[in-house]
């Protein structure tokens, strides 16, 4: 093998690393792991203007990590494969293992560590199947419709205060959102605890669940256009 060819091989693999070297692009990958979204939605979620969001998405597309399509006035992005979501999970887990600063930052996100669901994933599934625990997905409805954990109920954070009465007070409620960096489930358990429910947070999102080899419920009929504003 010539030196030039070997250099090319490493350069091509490095293209993936370069595309993922921006914090905002990592956040975009995490968001797109929840389902396809418009540029406008993504820009709002990561708190940048549409032009900058588009530039980040073009970098990810150039590395073949995302694909796009036009749907009327909208440009819609999605991950190029489920392995991209798995790559994000693996990268984050390696960072958690080796970066003390990251572990400390994650600890600060959880005001009360006792609010983290202490159960192994398989045990959680068994207890949910037996009706001992209720799992709620507090992400937006369209993300739940794309894919969600088995037995999870959709209770978007924006609706939770109005729907708390739907949850029985004699059972533990476990809330999850987009993964350990997501704060929606922390807000959800604070709301639930304020209404006298025993609530805890599952750090997993659909990407972590899938990476662990556990089943997801997917919708094969999601044909609707993600909401957004015209581009």
What pLDDT, on the 0 to 100 scale, is given for residue 73?
93
Report field, pTM of the whole predicted structure over 0.85: yes
Q: Give a yes or no: residue 74 inside a domain.
A: yes
Q: Which of 42, 177, 182, 184 is catalytic?
A: 177
Q: Give a yes or no: residue 26 inside a domain.
A: yes
Question: What's 116's DSSP letter?
Answer: B
Q: Considering only CA atoms, which of 201, 210, 53, 199 is closest in space to residue 146?
A: 210
Please report where in the chains the tokens 């549409």 appear, as a residue: 50
- Same domain, yes or no, for 111 and 214? yes
Q: Give a yes or no: residue 93 inside a domain.
A: no
Domain limits at 71?
A: 3-84
- Give the integer Cα–Cα distance in Å for 166 and 160: 10
Please report where in the chains the tokens 């997801």 appear, as a residue: 216
Q: Give a yes or no: residue 204 inside a domain.
A: yes
- Same domain, yes or no, for 154 and 122? yes
Q: Considering only CA atoms, which of 124, 121, 153, 127 is closest in space to residue 139?
A: 153
- Same domain, yes or no, for 51 and 112? no
- Give the integer Cα–Cα distance in Å for 128 and 202: 13
Q: Give tens-digit pLDDT for 16-68.
A: 999 999 999 999 999 999 999 999 999 999 999 999 999 999 999 999 999 99
Give CA angle at 126 (123, 127), nearest 5°: 90
Give the start-end residues of each E strand in the chain: 37-38, 66-71, 74-79, 133-137, 147-148, 153-154, 172-176, 199-201, 217-218
What CATH number is given to the structural domain containing 30? 1.10.10.10
> Is pLDDT at 177 greater than 50 in this prediction?
yes
Here the tokens at position 186 are: 């922390």
3-state secondary structure of 100: helix
- End-to-end Cα, the chain, rounded Å: 48
- Same domain, yes or no, for 110 and 72? no
Q: Give a yes or no: residue 14 inside a domain.
A: yes
Please report where in the chains the tokens 């997917």 appear, as a residue: 218
Domain count within the chain: 2
- Among 50, 84, 118, the domain-final residue is 84
- Give the integer Cα–Cα distance in Å for 59 and 18: 9
Q: DSSP letters of 77-105?
A: EEES-HHHHHHHHHHHHHHHHH-HHHHHH
- Among 53, 84, 115, the domain-final residue is 84
Q: Give tens-digit pLDDT for 81-131.
A: 999 999 999 999 999 999 999 989 888 776 555 567 667 888 898 999 999
- Same domain, yes or no, for 213 and 130? yes
3-state secondary structure of 117: coil
Has 177 been annotated as catalytic? yes
Q: Give a yes or no: residue 75 inside a domain.
A: yes
């Amino acid at each position: 093998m010539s030196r030039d060819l070997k250099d090319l091989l490493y350069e091509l693999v490095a293209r993936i690393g370069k595309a993922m070297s921006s914090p905002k692009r990592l956040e975009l990958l995490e968001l797109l792991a929840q389902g396809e979204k418009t540029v406008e939605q993504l820009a709002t979620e990561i708190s940048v203007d549409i032009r900058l969001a588009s530039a980040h998405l073009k970098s990810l597309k150039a590395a073949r990590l995302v694909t796009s399509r036009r749907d009327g006035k909208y440009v819609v992005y999605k991950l190029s494969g489920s392995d991209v979501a798995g790559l994000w999970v693996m990268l984050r887990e390696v960072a958690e293992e080796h970066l003390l600063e990251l572990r400390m930052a994650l600890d600060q996100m959880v005001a009360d560590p006792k609010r983290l669901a202490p159960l192994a994933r398989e045990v959680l599934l068994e207890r949910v199947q037996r009706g001992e625990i209720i799992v709620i997905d507090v992400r937006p409805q369209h993300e739940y419709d794309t894919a969600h954990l088995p037995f999870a109920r959709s209770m978007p954070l924006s609706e939770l205060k109005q729907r708390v009465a739907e949850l029985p007070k004699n059972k533990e409620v476990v809330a999850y959102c987009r993964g350990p960096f997501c704060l929606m489930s922390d807000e959800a358990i604070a709301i639930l605890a304020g209404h006298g429910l025993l609530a805890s947070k599952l750090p997993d999102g659909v990407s972590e669940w899938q990476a662990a080899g556990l089943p997801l419920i997917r919708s094969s009929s999601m044909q609707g256009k993600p909401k957004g504003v015209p581009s």
